[in-house]
Structure 1
Amino acid sequence: MFPLKDAEMGAFTFFASALPHDVCGSNGLPLTPNSIKILGRFQILKTITHPRLCQYGHVKLAKFGLYHMTAYGDDVDFPIGYPSYLAPEVIAQGIFKTSDHVPSEKPLPSGPKSDVWSLGIILFELCVGRKLFQSLDISERLKFLLTLDCVDDTIIVLAEEHGCLDIIKELPETVINLLKKCLTFHPSKRPTPDELMQDNVFSEVLPLYTPFIKPASLFSSSLRCADLTLPEDISQLCKDINNDYLAERSIEEVYYLWCLAGGDLEKELVNKEIIRSKPPICTLPNFLFEDGESFGQGRDRSSLLDDTTVTLSLCQLRNRLKDVGGEAFYPLLEDDQSNLPHSNSNNELSAAATLPLIIRERDTEYQLNRIILFDRLLKAYPYKKNQIWKEARVDIPPLMRGLTWAALLGVEGAIHAKYDAIDKDTPIPTDRQIEVDIPRCHQYDELLSSPEGHAKFRRVLKAWVVSHPDLVYWQGLDSLCAPFLYLNFNNEALAYACMSAFIPKYLYNFFLKDNSHVIQEYLTVFSQMIAFHDPELSNHLNEIGFIPDVNVFPLHKIFHLWDTLLLGNSSFPFCIGVAILQQLRDRLLANGFNECILLFSDLPEIDIERCVRESINLFCWTPKSATYRQHAQPPKPTSDSSGVRSSTPYFPTECPDPPKTDLVSFHFSGFFFFHCLLILCSYCHGHFRQSNNRNLLKGHLLGALKQFCPVQWLLDSWFVRLGYPLQYSGLKNSVVCIVLGVAKSQI
């Protein structure tokens, strides 16, 4: 998106038409409000960034897309367009509503040729220097435009009607011919915009404009620096530097920061009386018949269009950022200290990094620094991939989350070409299940519940199914797709690429046609993780026969959880699951099977920040081999310092493949002693540290107890007998590692 420069932000709004409350759709669900439909269609307008819309700081075209986002006027109670500029065929068609017509009788929507007529009226006004039809009321204007079918020369009639015939006669012949082409009454004879561009009047103008080349996107195979040019005189750049650094940021970033600084768009519109509300008692009719017909109720004009633009003041935002120095807007990526906020209160901002995440996300100054830093790092992706990982461990700014997730998942290449090449239209057997699942997936969210959101859901899910013929669609794939689609609503290709990269890493072979062995192994390892970190809870769950299963969190909680999840490997979800159970521990221990089922069907509030913090600790405390899965994704080759491709798996290659098929038999996880030894050393030293020092295998471990153990103890209740001298009361919530001596007589 282009920088703000010296422009100001403005806003205007309108109300969608209301739907009846006692009507359901064909799927039996309540009708989607028209406002939700409009919101979904509006999103595509954010992707239109042609410089001719706002060139050199002067707005050329604004408030466009109203006809598209309102479903050709079907979702609002006012006509789309200004009467003086409407094409005759649009006027003749009149206003229609879907509820008033069967689908076969629905008129065709207006096309580009109707816009050519409107362009002709605008050009005519520019040539004569006055607005047309100002002396006529609306009904007379519409009637006059419809009578132009009976005249031979529309230009002459319009000029005579407005007393500007002399001005028209002085125009060049090429301009008059252009006006005649635009103001051709019959749309079948009227040229299209492409045909109009071939007119002679543009032959001398077109060479003056540099053709617009859409810049390469972040995830594409094209060279992003191909058109990068530097001025011959570098010193001139220093002279042109503007001290208004905020003006160099994109409009999207400025609006996001404006909201954080206390900006309230709805409040601004209410203050300007664009949004008006009435007390409910004032909306009641004076007289009501038994059949429901009412009288005496004044017409509510709030549903009509008011295209007044309200200017949004940036004073509050600029005042909030007045102490931020210029260095913060241009951090040096090669400098280790460049990621620190820069201002007169450096210490305060540095301390902000230690505050709770929800506070950091609402801190305007902190978010400004994080957004700028991530923006520059992402523009250097994949060269700065390691630094993106480093900064993501601190936090991810919500505005940059979609692109950052893609970078963490390693998305690269021509993702748009790959996505466009997938057949998403041909019917497949999975279509029916997708249609059933989508209306039930995160429908509390306005974007995902809109018809446009459903269509995008359908295309992305179908693209994944078609492009992975060895896998199948299982229920839950829609919930997996939802976060990626929400963050990349206007970039389906990136949402598809992220989901395609996420599934092999964290859910490898989960979507096989027969995935029972994969699910069984996953649940086995998860049960063993619970037993390793909380034996008491594990024993209770085994006694009542309850196996914690999947659950879906709201989107706003998923985001914070996945910010950390994407930094871990395929075993990290186990730690998240155990951390969630830790928050529910007391309630689980106090209830039986039926109560636990009800608890998970209506999951109580979970502290996500605490969950993230504890899951990281659990990950550090867990031996690598304890989370080994036979059906996990095979390790990918990586590059070492010399640039040679080598394979460096997370799990050791000597890990066995135990037959993990019985959840009851395998309550305890098996792991390599060396991995446990590393963790025990970390306990003894009071912190976590990873080491590959083989000398740790020799010598005495601080805090260890030596106990004589007859061989028969190993055969008959050895663990119970050994428990007494170890004094378990003092070792609760600690890792107890039992090592058998070489002579098998000492432990």
Structure 2
Amino acid sequence: MRSLKDAQLGAFTFFASALPHDVCGSNGLPLTPNSIKILGRFQILKTITHPRLCQYVDISRGKHERLIVVAEHYENSLSIFQKPENTPSAEKVLQIAYEVLEGLEFMNKHGLVHRALSPNNVLMDCKGNVKLAKFGLYHMTDHGADVDFPIGYPSYLAPEVIAQGSFHPSDPSRDEAPLPSGPKSDVWSLGILLFELCAGRRLLQNIDISERLKFILTLGCMDDIVTVLAEEHGCLDTIKELPDSVLELLRKCLTFLPSKRATPAELLRDPVFNGISCHYTPFQKPVSLFSSSLRCAHLVLPDDISDLCKDDDEDYLSERAIDEVYYLWCLAGGDLEKELTNQEIIQSKPPISTLPNFVLEDGETFGQGRDRSFLLDDTTVTLSLCQLRNRLKDVAREAYYPLLEDEQSSLPQSNSSNELSAAVTLPLIIRERDTEYQLIRIILFDRLLKAYPYKKTLVWKEARVDIPPLVRGLAWAGLLGIEGDIQAKYEGIDKDTPIPTDRQIEVDIPRCHQYDELLSSPQGHIKFRRVLKAWVVSHPDLVYWQGLDSLCAPFLYLNFNNEALAYACMSAFIPKYLYNFFLKDNSHVIQEYLTVFSQMIAFHDPELSNHLNEIGFIPDLYAIPWFLTMFTHVFPLHKIFHLWDTLLLGNSSFPFCIGVAILQQLRDRLLANGFNECILLFSDLPEIDIERCVRESISLFCWTPKSATYRQHAQPPKVAGDNGFVKTSTYYSSDYQDMPKTDLSREPLSLGDLKAEVSPRISAEDLIDLCELSLSGSSKRNKTGKPKIVAVDIRTAEDFNRGHISGSINIPFNTTFGPENEVVQCPAAGGLQSYRGRVIVVISHNMKSAFAAHLVKMSFPRVCILDGGINKLKPTGLLTVPSPQI
């Protein structure tokens, strides 16, 4: 999206047609409001970028089907030339015509027709160049079918458009809608505009509307329409004095029969513009972030490098993209309805005044015809940026061009920089509403993403702080490692041929996050269907399971105008976090996942685990939708965004920590209730504090040894790359699945053996790593300075004295448990109570789980078992023996 520069932000409003409330569609669901349909169609207009078109920015839906559109705006328009004293020269007329045709041709390439050309919709920037406004009104309203007013102005409509007449779907007298207008209808409108410029006056303004239409239709009998119009309006002499090139252009535009009228593309190549076209460079659309083309090929350094330096009074905000400026305007207190109300575009009426008829006591009847407020008012209100500029006045100019390397930390900090540094400690919801903070973050991420993938490490680093909502879609793509020409790959997938899954997709989409206006629109359903079908077709070894639509929703919402990127993100996300979850028979994968989750509950909260097991409330009853949809079936989108901002920084075991964190928020209610109450509780999940959930998930994740969440059905190791939560050399950084396998690694267990153990196992390499870190006095200590780990050797004293892990304690199993594994002496009596809270690793000969299970029953947290027992450690040479007594 291009920068603001000398443009302004403008807003205009209109109403969509209201639908009857008691009518349902063929699927039995209520009809989609026309305002929702318009909102969905509008989205593609934000991607239509051209120097001759005003950039669309946003659309807002209000009460009673009101829609407010925000777009690039300029104060001057073609109306300034429609006065005799401002009549432009022939060269200027040709220039305007050429620039309008450039905009129309670009629109036509994207399947758009203006249909509403008028002097007020042909704006002029500060350099006198044409900017077409409101060019998307015809498209977003489905060719006028979703509104109660006609699209276009009678004086400028082409004859074939007038001949079709007006149409409304609820009109019983019309069986079929008129054919949509084509590109040639805009050429006629352009001809009328050019004629008015040359004549210095407006046409057909002083006669009745019906007379105007009759006159336009009678022009079909005339050989020379230009001459007839000139005679009718008393400007024949003026028109005759025009150069032949201008007259020829007018005649080609004002050709009555569409079959003989040229298109914008044909007129652009007409010899009449030979002297004009040489001054214009063909527009080239900027290369997107994910493509096979060079993104920087167009960049050229100036001869004088000092030209890049900005003056002290430079307007840095105007250099930012229009969508960024509007986003910041909203954060700074901008209110669209308030702005329109202040300009009296939106007027409130007492309820009684909206009645079609009402009678006073004296019998006097008041009535009203059609409420004209529901018709189109094409007034565009300029949004003032004064409040935003005042809010950002203290932001240092260096902030608009941040350094990305280490020297940034050595720069002197301004007051505003110090304030922004302090803002990092504030809750996320406050940071996301802080105008200055968001400006800094957006600029930084914008630079990092433009340098992606070369700055991928810095993207990870900054995402650990937070992700600005405005760039979340691209930031997620960067975190998922999306690269290459994703559009070509997506277009190569057959999304049209019917497949057996189509029926289930059609059923699921109308139920997926339909509270959201964007996803509930018909365009949203179409895109949903295409992305889901592309994934199903491109993964023949997997199948569509209910829940896949929920997984797709966040990516589609953030990349609504880029289906290829939504598909690419979804395709990268699933194998990382849901590997083989969508097999035709996924029972073994799901059961292993739920068993590991049960062990994680016991590891972090044994008291809660004991209670849930006693009442039989196992994860199979509530956690499958959590993990199959990565919580998108549980939480609304705005919570999922915050949750996934952190999830995407973690490895495939991080969802376990999220699940435990959710249970801990419900801990008191779960402990106080039985099975039936817990079922009811999860059938309508209470409000979850997502920020607290994220914070506690990170803490749980850092307390969990890597190998404790090992799953043999997880994604195989990657060749290269580190997708850890912290992109550093710390212990808990990478996914255990990605680590090279050695003799000290965890061995796979059968599902039956895994379910038989309450506590998780950790690998010998994990134990060695943790012990070395704790002995070196590194960061693997808690706030009291004690090591996070304690190794409990449950072999006999004789075996312990033959060799043990340095620093481990010996609590023999045979003195704690009897022959039938009954408890003889509580392990806590042996001094283990003082180690409560640390990671307790139980070491034995044959990995007896009864000792660990008893510790869990005694509510000892963070209990795990050494996989392979002491035998795994014997070849390492790390076992020590006690020093002989002297």
Normalised to the residue count of structure 1, the TM-score between the two structures is 0.92
Corresponding residue SS for 1:9: strand
Q: Distance in 1 between matches of 2:384 and 2:508?
A: 43
Deviation at 1:111, TM superposition (A): 1.2
State whether structure 2 residue 825 is matched by structure 1 residue 721: yes
5 Å-filtered alignment, 1:71-150, equals: 71-100=142-171, 105-150=176-221
Deviation at 1:612, TM superposition (A): 0.6
- Output the amino acid matched with 1:660: L
Q: What's the CA shift string for 1:409-428, capped at 9, x where partnerless?
A: 00000011111111111111
State whether structure 2 residue 712 is matched by structure 1 residue 599: no
Does 112-121 or 344-353 show the bigger shift?
A: 344-353
2:350 counterpart residue number: 279
1:178 counterpart residue number: 249
Does 586-595 or 22-31 show the bigger shift?
A: 586-595
- Output the amino acid matched with 2:479: L
- Mapped contact 1:341–1:366 kept (Cα < 8 A): no
- Mapped contact 1:332–1:338 kept (Cα < 8 A): no
State whether structure 2 residue 268 is matched by structure 1 residue 193: no
2:226 counterpart residue number: 155
1:660 counterpart residue number: 751
Q: What's the CA shift string for 1:384-429, capped at 9, x where partnerless?
A: 0001000000000111111000000000000111111111111111
Does 650-659 or 400-409 show the bigger shift?
A: 650-659
Corresponding residue SS for 1:226: coil
State whether structure 2 residue 761 is matched by structure 1 residue 670: yes
State whether structure 2 residue 649 is matched by structure 1 residue 558: no
Q: What's the CA shift string for 1:126-156, capped at 9, x where partnerless?
A: 2222221121232221221111122222111
- Output the amino acid matched with 2:648: L
Deviation at 1:355, TM superposition (A): 0.8
Q: Distance in 1 between matches of 2:264 and 2:469?
A: 40
5 Å-filtered alignment, 1:214-613, equals: 214-238=285-309, 243-286=314-357, 296-337=367-408, 343-546=414-617, 547=619, 548-549=622-623, 550-551=625-626, 552=633, 553-613=635-695
Q: Indicate how the Cα distance of structure 1 residues 663 and 451 shifts in structure 2: closer, same or farther if over 3 A, else same.
A: farther
- Mapped contact 1:53–1:60 kept (Cα < 8 A): yes
1:12 counterpart residue number: 12
Q: Indicate how the Cα distance of structure 1 residues 523 and 720 shifts in structure 2: closer, same or farther if over 3 A, else same.
A: farther
Q: Indicate how the Cα distance of structure 1 residues 340 and 629 shifts in structure 2: closer, same or farther if over 3 A, else same.
A: farther
Q: Indicate how the Cα distance of structure 1 residues 79 and 720 shifts in structure 2: closer, same or farther if over 3 A, else same.
A: farther
- Mapped contact 2:493–2:537 kept (Cα < 8 A): yes
1:291 counterpart residue number: none
- Output the amino acid matched with 2:840: V
State whether structure 2 residue 717 is matched by structure 1 residue 635: yes
Q: Distance in 2 between matches of 1:690 and 1:192?
A: 75
- Number of matched residues? 730
- Mapped contact 2:815–2:825 kept (Cα < 8 A): no
Deviation at 1:42, TM superposition (A): 0.8
- Mapped contact 1:341–1:369 kept (Cα < 8 A): no
1:694 counterpart residue number: none
Q: Indicate how the Cα distance of structure 1 residues 665 and 649 shifts in structure 2: closer, same or farther if over 3 A, else same.
A: closer
- Output the amino acid matched with 2:523: E
Superposed CA RMSD in Å reads: 3.0
- Mapped contact 1:331–1:339 kept (Cα < 8 A): no
Q: Distance in 2 between matches of 1:79 and 1:395?
A: 46
Q: Indicate how the Cα distance of structure 1 residues 361 and 239 shifts in structure 2: closer, same or farther if over 3 A, else same.
A: closer
Q: What's the CA shift string for 1:532-573, capped at 9, x where partnerless?
A: 111221222222222232242100000000000000111111
Deviation at 1:109, TM superposition (A): 1.1
Q: Percent identity?
A: 74
Deviation at 1:171, TM superposition (A): 2.1
- Mapped contact 2:589–2:713 kept (Cα < 8 A): yes
- Output the amino acid matched with 2:319: E
- Mapped contact 1:510–1:519 kept (Cα < 8 A): yes
Deviation at 1:77, TM superposition (A): 1.1
Q: Indicate how the Cα distance of structure 1 residues 440 and 649 shifts in structure 2: closer, same or farther if over 3 A, else same.
A: closer
Normalised to the residue count of structure 2, the TM-score between the two structures is 0.78
Q: Distance in 2 between matches of 1:195 and 1:220?
A: 31
- Mapped contact 2:513–2:553 kept (Cα < 8 A): yes
> Structure 1: any 5+ residue segments left out of the alignment?
289-293, 692-696
Q: Distance in 2 between matches of 1:568 and 1:38?
A: 38
Q: Indicate how the Cα distance of structure 1 residues 647 and 277 shifts in structure 2: closer, same or farther if over 3 A, else same.
A: closer
Q: Distance in 1 between matches of 2:535 and 2:203?
A: 54
Q: What's the CA shift string for 1:512-546, capped at 9, x where partnerless?
A: 11111111111111111111111221222222222
Deviation at 1:639, TM superposition (A): 6.4
Q: Distance in 2 between matches of 1:539 and 1:477?
A: 33
Q: Distance in 2 between matches of 1:167 and 1:287?
A: 55
> Structure 2: any 5+ residue segments left out of the alignment?
55-124, 360-364, 627-632, 728-733, 775-779, 790-802, 846-869, 875-880
- Output the amino acid matched with 1:486: Y
Does 33-42 or 706-715 show the bigger shift?
A: 706-715
Q: Indicate how the Cα distance of structure 1 residues 537 and 649 shifts in structure 2: closer, same or farther if over 3 A, else same.
A: closer
Does 682-691 or 253-262 show the bigger shift?
A: 682-691
Q: Indicate how the Cα distance of structure 1 residues 708 and 617 shifts in structure 2: closer, same or farther if over 3 A, else same.
A: same
- Output the amino acid matched with 2:10: G
Deviation at 1:488, TM superposition (A): 0.7
Q: Distance in 2 between matches of 1:720 and 1:107?
A: 90
State whether structure 2 residue 698 is matched by structure 1 residue 616: yes
Does 91-100 or 418-427 show the bigger shift?
A: 91-100
Q: Indicate how the Cα distance of structure 1 residues 267 and 15 shifts in structure 2: closer, same or farther if over 3 A, else same.
A: same
Q: Indicate how the Cα distance of structure 1 residues 466 and 209 shifts in structure 2: closer, same or farther if over 3 A, else same.
A: same
Does 31-40 or 274-283 show the bigger shift?
A: 274-283
**Larger RCO (alpha carbons 8 Å, 6+ apart):** 1
Q: Indicate how the Cα distance of structure 1 residues 647 and 678 shifts in structure 2: closer, same or farther if over 3 A, else same.
A: closer
- Mapped contact 1:484–1:499 kept (Cα < 8 A): yes
Does 559-568 or 185-194 show the bigger shift?
A: 185-194
Q: Indicate how the Cα distance of structure 1 residues 24 and 733 shifts in structure 2: closer, same or farther if over 3 A, else same.
A: farther
- Mapped contact 2:602–2:759 kept (Cα < 8 A): yes
- Mapped contact 1:360–1:367 kept (Cα < 8 A): yes
Q: Distance in 2 between matches of 1:209 and 1:147?
A: 38
Deviation at 1:678, TM superposition (A): 5.5
Deviation at 1:679, TM superposition (A): 5.6
- Mapped contact 1:148–1:154 kept (Cα < 8 A): yes
Corresponding residue SS for 1:13: strand
1:735 counterpart residue number: 839
2:25 counterpart residue number: 25
Deviation at 1:347, TM superposition (A): 2.6
Q: What's the CA shift string for 1:14-61, capped at 9, x where partnerless?
A: 111111111111111111111111111111111111112266665521
Does 362-371 or 682-691 show the bigger shift?
A: 682-691
Deviation at 1:251, TM superposition (A): 0.9
- Mapped contact 1:37–1:451 kept (Cα < 8 A): yes
- Mapped contact 2:514–2:520 kept (Cα < 8 A): yes
